[in-house]
């Protein structure tokens, strides 16, 4: 297997007295979709926010392309080429697709907004992702369906030559057809060589697009396995009990002394 693009080693995170993440090892590989699964409260979003630079880590290393990096905030992480698509999307309804895709990073020419350049690049990006459901990049986001919004949020994340895209439950609120669109898009991102992290509670989605599955159980990595080596029920067991057959955490951490 190729070198991981991004790697966390031995990461711990506490909020006050609550120890949320224990010795997490996590890796994102180029061209692969890594599914991050786990029960409610297992620590998935916390892990994503640590990767995104929103939370600091108590201990542990953050490696990017094999080298340890210091990240002190979302801007540092964005500069590495890591983008996060949050579950609650974060788009401005009153702005159009192009304006949203460039929000906070507008291109300017002579101090004024360079609308033609931004519009052209927005179209190019959407077209290169084979997005055909959006009719115009000048449509306001308010007029888009849930799936189309998700598409815009993802396109926004890849606009910046990003190397890694983290998606926190991108299909949670979507219907069948729209989930389809988003999963196809996730797959295409990986096929273009990006490292993709997909958080999902839907095993169908996970087994469809993921190359690897990392299961979290009560803030620990229960398993990190290629999708083809496990089946549905094993993953469900990993999520709910932290172990399944010879996979998983050897002793139950809930009762183990920490």
Partner 1 sequence: MTTDTNESGGTATVADTDFARDSLQAHSLGEAFQAYLNKLRGGDMGSLPAILGLIVLAIIFGLASDTFTTKLNIANLITQAGPICVLALALVPVLLLGEIDLSAGVAGSTGAMTAGLMIVDHGQSWPVAFLGAVVVGAVIGVVIGLLVSRLGIPSFVVTLAFFLGLQGVMLKFIGQGGSVRFDNEFLRGLAIKNVDPTVGWIGAIVIVVVFAGLSLRTYRTQVSQKLQHPPMSVVVLRIAALAVILLGVVWFLNQNRSRNPNFPIEGIPRMLIVVAVLLIVWMFILNRTRYGRYLYAVGGNAEAARRAGINVARIRTSAFVACSMMAAVSGILLAANTGKISPGSGGGNVLLYAVGAAVIGGVSLFGGRGRATDAIIGGLVIATINNGLLLLNNASWINSVVTGGVLLLAASVDAISRRRRSAAGV
Ligand X SMILES: Nc1ncnc2c1ncn2[C@@H]1O[C@H](COP(=O)(O)OP(=O)(O)OP(=O)(O)O)[C@@H](O)[C@H]1O
Binding site for partner 1 (CB under 8 A): 74-75, 78, 86, 88-95, 99-100, 103-106, 108, 111-113, 116, 119-120, 123-124, 126-128, 130-132, 135-140, 142-144, 158, 160-163, 192-194
- What is the C-alpha to C-alpha distance for residues 139 and 99, in angstroms, rounded to an integer? 10
The smaller minimum CB distance to ligand X, of residues 134 and 182, is found at: 182
β-partners of residue 168 are 199
Contact 74, 251 (CB under 8 A): no
Q: Which does 150 bind (CB under 5 to 8 A by kind): ligand X, Mg ion, partner 1, none?
A: none
Residue 44 Cβ, how far from Mg ion at the closest point, in Å? 5
Contact 77, 52 (CB under 8 A): yes
Identify residues 6-35 at the interface with ligand X (CB under 6 A): 15, 18, 20
Identify residues 147-186 at the interface with ligand X (CB under 6 A): none
Nearest 5°: phi and psi at 120? -65, -40
Q: Which does 46 bind (CB under 5 to 8 A by kind): ligand X, partner 1, Mg ion, none?
A: ligand X
Q: Which does 14 bind (CB under 5 to 8 A by kind): partner 1, Mg ion, ligand X, none?
A: none
The smaller minimum CB distance to Mg ion, of residues 2 and 40, is found at: 40
Q: Which does 255 bind (CB under 5 to 8 A by kind): ligand X, partner 1, Mg ion, none?
A: none
The smaller minimum CB distance to partner 1, of residues 41 and 116, is found at: 116
Sequence-separated (6 or more) residues with CB below 8 Å from residue 52: 74, 77, 82, 84, 166
CB-count burial class (<10 Å; 0-12, 13-18, 19+) for 151: buried
State whether the Cα torsion 186-187-192-196 is positive or negative. Answer: positive
Nearest 5°: phi and psi at 116? -55, -45
Query: Which of 1, 2, 17, 40 touches ligand X (CB under 6 A)?
Result: 40
């Amino acid at each position: 297997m190729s070198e991981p693009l991004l790697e966390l080693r031995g990461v711990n995170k506490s909020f006050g007295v609550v120890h949320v993440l224990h010795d997490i090892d996590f890796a994102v590989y180029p061209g692969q979709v890594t599914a991050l699964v786990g029960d409610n409260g297992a620590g998935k979003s916390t892990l994503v926010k640590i990767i995104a630079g929103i939370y600091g880590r108590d201990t542990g290393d953050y490696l990017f392309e094999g080298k340890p990096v210091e990240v002190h905030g979302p801007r540092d992480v964005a500069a590495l080429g890591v983008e996060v698509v949050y579950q609650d999307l974060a788009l401005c309804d009153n702005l159009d697709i192009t304006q949203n895709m460039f929000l906070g990073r507008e291109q300017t020419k002579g101090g004024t907004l360079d609308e033609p350049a931004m519009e052209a690049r927005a179209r190019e990006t959407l077209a290169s992702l084979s997005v055909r459901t959006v009719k115009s990049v000048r449509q306001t986001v308010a007029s888009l369906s849930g799936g189309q919004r998700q598409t815009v949020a993802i396109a926004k994340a890849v606009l910046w030559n990003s190397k890694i895209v983290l998606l926190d439950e991108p299909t949670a609120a979507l219907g069948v057809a729209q989930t389809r669109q988003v999963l196809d898009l996730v797959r295409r991102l990986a096929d273009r060589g990006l490292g993709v992290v997909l958080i999902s509670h839907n095993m169908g989605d996970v087994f469809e697009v993921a190359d690897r599955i990392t299961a979290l159980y009560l803030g620990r990595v229960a398993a990190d396995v290629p999708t083809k080596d496990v089946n549905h029920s094993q993953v469900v067991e990993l999520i709910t009990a932290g172990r399944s057959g010879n996979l998983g955490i050897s002793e139950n951490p809930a009762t183990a002394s920490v």
